[in-house]
Amino acid sequence: MALTLADSNRIMAAAIAQASELNIKVSVAVVDGGGRLIGLQRMDGAIWASAYGCQGKAVASAAFGRPSGEMQARADTPTPSGIRQRSGAEMIFGQGAVPIISDGAVVGACGVGGGTSEEDEQCAAAGAAAL
């Protein structure tokens, strides 16, 4: 299964709905299995840096097939650090993104930035669950 633009829009809408429930302003990114951007939305009032943070976390989650925060403790170890450097330093190993898995394969990830780490991951999980 490949994520479509329609899938991405549904994922982002669910993540933004969760952010609204939490009364926070976030940016949401959806990437494909190779970490390439499919969709990005920034809520009115979200800090501009959140647009970069959500993408970096989504790329890390897609690359490693796990929530981006799980990589935080290993971020400076040789393999994840080396992969991050070789891929153009676009990955962010911080909590706030979850992989999207279909039939056992990573098909993408949803990343969120702008709230606390826990809020970001909660919104990302809500987005991914919308599929």
Domains held by the chain: number = 1
N residues, the chain: 131
- Dihedral of alpha carbons 84, 89, 93, 95, sign: negative
Q: pTM, whole model, 2 decimals?
A: 0.93
Q: 32: domain range? A: 5-129
For the stretch 21-69, pLDDT in tens is 999 999 999 999 999 999 999 999 999 999 999 999 999 999 999 999 9
What pLDDT is recorded for position 76?
A: 73
CATH code where residue 107 lies: 3.30.450.150
For the stretch 81-127, pLDDT in tens is 777 777 777 899 999 999 999 999 999 999 999 999 999 999 999 99
Per DSSP bridges, beta strands 27-32 and 105-113 are: antiparallel
What pLDDT is recorded for position 74?
A: 76
End-to-end C-alpha distance for the chain, whole angstroms: 12
